[in-house]
Structure 1
Amino acid sequence: MLLPVIMAGGTGSRLWPLSRELYPKQFICLHGQHSMLQETVMRLSGVEAQSPVVICNEEHRFLVAEQLRQIKKLSHNIILEPVGRNTAPAIALAALNAIEHDEDPILLVLAADHIIDDKKTFHAAIERAIAFAEEGSLVTFGIVPAGPETGYGYIHRGESVSGQQASPYKVQRFVEKPDLKTAEGYINSGEYYWNSGMFMFRAKRYLQELEKFRPDILEACKRAMANVKAGGDFISIDKADFNLCPDESVDYAVMEKTADAIVVPLDAGWSDVGSWSALWEVNEKDDSGNSLKGDTFVHNSKNCYINTDDQLVAAIGVEDLVIVNTKDAVLVAKRDQVQDVKRVVEFLKAECRTEYRKHRETYWPWGRADLVVQAERFNVNRITVKPGEAFDLQMHYHRTEHWVILSGTAKVTILDKTILLTENQSTFIPIGSVHTLENPGKIPLELLEIQSGSYLGDDDIIEIKEQFGRS
């Protein structure tokens, strides 16, 4: 049976301001009714496969767990990378972990941030690939190109494996992103596919080829897995050992070197959603070519992409624009210049601003917090705590906190005193007081938190007792 391995790392900076380091595009609903990670998992419905293994960054662990829980796919199946080391080591971690629980499963390696509209054709390509993976081939899925795209790498196919139409082909070579003239030559030849970054092979077979071509990566991964910490839904990799692992993609480490690579053509409405213009292309549009999401008004405008998650956006007399509005940032760009969004992210990093890394609204294992007001000596957060969840037991050296309950019931402990608060009631937490808050009810708890003091940074949260296993 197949074991899907879903790669959910990465920051998706090309889709700023919606995608940010702490909440990248794979966890956002950009196409369809669910997040891209959830869509990737649900796309496998109808394929005979085990529950997926998801590989993600440690700081995204609770996002992944919550999104898998929502679709009932959470089952001790999240591998946490303490540092990013690209796809070759990530797949090695999944293969090593799989072999511990299965003799030698076939791994179906997928990215969490791709769109595939034709699920039936996708499933047929998977079925076609299984027989070759069982025989020891390392399969990659090549996207039938829709045009001379310069933003993708290409796969040059060789001879047919079976001589039949739509048969897999031997991989002749992988090529880097070409210029336009070269890409046009690739398309005209009919022998090239876009490199999708999706693969299928047996776990042991992949490790054999990795040992042949990059034994240093395999050894580093084995050491990291030897000190693995498993708890709850997470498999935590040893940071010290994994930090020494080389950074390398599976393409460079294995697929370009192996003599057993084959490519299965795939024409299923695929997109890696690498830019706002790509997202405009795949989403539904009105009669004027506008793709609209959220509270919008357009007049005499065409071929625009507008996405707002908060305020009304009105566009009048404009064409070919991308307008993205979040609670703390607005992007306006020509649709043919969205590749320069990365310059905004570079500017924010250089200026030590937080908008490249996190949204005004942040997500936690217990719920979420929306920073409504931020000033020099006070912050105001609107906090939502899920039923049955609680803050870690904590204290602060530099700030006081005032909690006002908006709806629901709060169980508040300050020092050795515990009280219940309901709508319109409040409490005050002095500096240095050990405290926690719990939602004992059946509905979400909403409250305003007013922080006041000389220093309001997150590192003034001194955890006394952890509720969620954070390190």
Structure 2
Amino acid sequence: MTTIYPLIICGGKGTRLWPLSRTQSPKQFQKISGPESSTFFQVAVQRHSGPVYNDPVIVTGVTHRGTVVKQLREIQANAQIICEPMGRNTGPAVLAAAHAIARKDPNALFVVVPADHIIEGPLTETVESCISAAQAGHIITFGIPPRYAETGFGYITDAGPMEGFDAIRRVGGFVEKPPQDEAQALIDSKAAYWASGLSMFSAQTIIDEYQKFDPRTAAYVADSVEFGSQTPEALYLNEADFAEAASKPTEGVVFEKTDRIALAPLDVSWDDVGSWLAMYNISAQDQNGNVLQGDVIALDAMNTMVRADSRLVSVVGLTDVIVIDTPDALLVAKMDETQNVKKIVEELKSQSRTETEVHAEAKPAMVPFEKQKEVARLVESDNFHLGTAEIEVGRTVILDKGPRNRQVIVVQGSVHATGPGWSKTATEGGRIYADENGPIRIVNSGEEKAELLFVTLEKLDVGDLPLPMASNA
């Protein structure tokens, strides 16, 4: 029996569900309904398991590898992980996975799975019905029967039956986020579907079509796999080659141009959870229409969502309001204004605020080294200061802008540091020096808690210290 590889792309910038979701810890890695629930990513992996599926293929950034491994371990799932040195949109990610898997399984079939959508219903049955079409070289995109004239989704138009196949139909065209009147006309036509983000094809088909429509990117991505670094924990794509790939989605490069495209209607409950209002709508509500997640006390509240991630949150007399509390940021919004959260994120970015990118841990206190009794015997003066920090997998600390006599030493684990114009990975014994050009974000990219030592050498002559390396290795 033919089996299918679920291909889960774990990228995204995480702005629409801010402050829960951030650039370096996007929506897919967040828990769906509070501290005790599974994450979007975990649910996606579990949804595509069973006899018809192989272990999934996960494409993610190097900074997220530790989070992926940790969350897979929590649900006892195996996967092949492919690490991108930088994000290049979905096209190169999908193509790299196709090359990597086709080497060991030339007949491999993929179903591309959004890592951050909520899908309930007979999805696997529809996927199975499309196997023969995918084997015949078709690229199947799955469409959702539209429930209303949504202007934030793309649409696929139905051009009638596909000869020789019962499960798929011909595609008339693609419409990207139409205005209200055009969206309504598409609904009224009874021949249009929401684009779900799910697709299915053979590895060889997507390789062939990419070579046809973007041969330059196709060659560079193939080389990024060929000259990548295969380790027991992941395939690390070659940075120099992958950086040359055009940063474009698969849909724009291939789907909208190929004559192999087909449509499969998908009768499931589907939501891309693109706002806090959408999150409210998919969550279990109490008798007053409230969604209360975490340590929350609500009095005389109706149709309100409150999420508390780290402390008690109390609300009184609220109606149609969203309250999202995280350790370093609080969002309060009217229910029907949650699409405008992205404007808050844009404003924070314009101010270069780190809250758009990371969930900041408490900064380590820089304390005089000699006050650390267990190591005081190693110090000869007051010029040496020390602080420590433990970072959970996927979390971040900020090393502020400053002179290079400040440094971080990795005591345990693996971290990925990104400074102004450079990045590097450091493991046990590795060092990261402060940068006078800007702050450094240090994320735990390993599989266990990372321990860091923050050191300041007040009177050190820093002229001989090595400069930061602009690399991801």
- TM-score > 0.5 by shorter chain: yes
Counterpart residue number, 2:428? none
Q: How does 1:223-372 map to 2 (within 5 A)?
A: 223-361=223-361, 370-371=362-363
Select which of 46, 68, 72 maps to 1:68: 72
Task: Give the SS at the match of 2:32.
Answer: coil
Q: Output the CA distance in 2 between the equivalents of 1:124 and 1:170.
A: 20
Q: Output the CA distance in 1 between the equivalents of 2:154 and 2:51.
A: 28
Task: Give the SS at the match of 1:211.
Answer: helix
Q: How does 1:37-436 map to 2 (within 5 A)?
A: 37-75=41-79, 77-118=80-121, 121-161=122-162, 167-361=167-361, 370-371=362-363, 383=390, 398=405
Give 5+ residue unaligned stretches, structure 1. Answer: 362-369, 387-395, 402-409, 412-431, 433-443, 456-460, 463-469
Q: Output the CA distance in 1 between the equivalents of 2:363 and 2:292.
A: 26
Shift of 1:350: 2.3
In the superposition, relative to structure 1, how do residues 296 and 163 fare at CA in structure 2: closer, same or farther (>3 Å)?
farther
The amino acid across from 1:3 in the alignment is: Y
The amino acid across from 1:30 in the alignment is: I
In the superposition, relative to structure 1, how do residues 384 and 99 fare at CA in structure 2: closer, same or farther (>3 Å)?
closer
Q: Output the CA distance in 2 between the equivalents of 1:445 and 1:243.
A: 30
Worse overlay, 312-321 or 100-109 = 312-321
Counterpart residue number, 2:31? 29
In the superposition, relative to structure 1, how do residues 445 and 25 fare at CA in structure 2: closer, same or farther (>3 Å)?
closer
Contact 2:406–2:454 (CA under 8 A) maintained in structure 1? no
Q: Output the CA distance in 1 between the equivalents of 2:204 and 2:449.
A: 48
Deviations 1:252-291 (A, max 9, x none): 1111111121111112211111111111111111122211
In the superposition, relative to structure 1, how do residues 14 and 216 fare at CA in structure 2: closer, same or farther (>3 Å)?
same
Counterpart residue number, 1:393? none
Q: Output the CA distance in 1 between the equivalents of 2:388 and 2:267.
A: 47
Shift of 1:155: 0.4
Counterpart residue number, 1:415? none
Q: Output the CA distance in 2 between the equivalents of 1:167 and 1:385.
A: 46
Q: Output the CA distance in 2 between the equivalents of 1:371 and 1:235.
A: 33
In the superposition, relative to structure 1, how do residues 336 and 99 fare at CA in structure 2: closer, same or farther (>3 Å)?
same
Deviations 1:29-88 (A, max 9, x none): 11483111111010113342111110011211111121122223335x111111111111
Q: Output the CA distance in 2 between the equivalents of 1:269 and 1:31.
A: 18
In the superposition, relative to structure 1, how do residues 157 and 281 fare at CA in structure 2: closer, same or farther (>3 Å)?
same
The amino acid across from 1:101 in the alignment is: K
Deviations 1:315-348 (A, max 9, x none): 2222221110000110011122222212222222
Task: Give the SS at the match of 2:344.
Answer: helix
Contact 1:371–1:381 (CA under 8 A) maintained in structure 2? no
In the superposition, relative to structure 1, how do residues 94 and 135 fare at CA in structure 2: closer, same or farther (>3 Å)?
same
The amino acid across from 1:58 in the alignment is: V
Task: Give the SS at the match of 2:332.
Answer: strand
Counterpart residue number, 1:3? 5
Q: Output the CA distance in 2 between the equivalents of 1:35 and 1:49.
A: 20
User: What is the aligned-residue RMSD (CA, Å)?
Assistant: 3.3
Q: Output the CA distance in 2 between the equivalents of 1:374 and 1:300.
A: 45
Q: Output the CA distance in 2 between the equivalents of 1:162 and 1:228.
A: 41
The amino acid across from 1:29 in the alignment is: K
Q: Output the CA distance in 1 between the equivalents of 2:366 and 2:12.
A: 29
Task: Give the SS at the match of 1:13.
Answer: coil
The amino acid across from 1:161 in the alignment is: M
Q: Output the CA distance in 1 between the equivalents of 2:365 and 2:276.
A: 29
Shift of 1:449: 8.1
In the superposition, relative to structure 1, how do residues 169 and 446 fare at CA in structure 2: closer, same or farther (>3 Å)?
closer
In the superposition, relative to structure 1, how do residues 289 and 350 fare at CA in structure 2: closer, same or farther (>3 Å)?
same
Q: Output the CA distance in 1 between the equivalents of 2:27 and 2:354.
A: 17
In the superposition, relative to structure 1, how do residues 190 and 327 fare at CA in structure 2: closer, same or farther (>3 Å)?
same
Contact 2:52–2:128 (CA under 8 A) maintained in structure 1? no
Q: Output the CA distance in 1 between the equivalents of 2:19 and 2:386.
A: 22
Shift of 1:142: 0.5
Q: How does 1:433-444 map to 2 (within 5 A)?
A: none
Contact 2:62–2:85 (CA under 8 A) maintained in structure 1? yes
Counterpart residue number, 2:19? 17
Shift of 1:297: 1.6
Contact 1:383–1:449 (CA under 8 A) maintained in structure 2? no
The amino acid across from 2:135 in the alignment is: E
Shift of 1:211: 1.4
Deviations 1:425-461 (A, max 9, x none): xxxxxxx9xxxxxxxxxxx999998977769xxxxx9
Q: Output the CA distance in 2 between the equivalents of 1:450 and 1:101.
A: 45
The amino acid across from 2:11 in the alignment is: G
Give 5+ residue unaligned stretches, structure 2. Answer: 368-383, 394-402, 413-432, 434-447, 460-464, 467-471
In the superposition, relative to structure 1, how do residues 286 and 382 fare at CA in structure 2: closer, same or farther (>3 Å)?
farther
In the superposition, relative to structure 1, how do residues 14 and 231 fare at CA in structure 2: closer, same or farther (>3 Å)?
same
In the superposition, relative to structure 1, how do residues 62 and 217 fare at CA in structure 2: closer, same or farther (>3 Å)?
same
Contact 2:117–2:272 (CA under 8 A) maintained in structure 1? yes
Q: Output the CA distance in 1 between the equivalents of 2:128 and 2:161.
A: 17
Shift of 1:243: 0.9
Deviations 1:5-30 (A, max 9, x none): 11111121111111112211111111
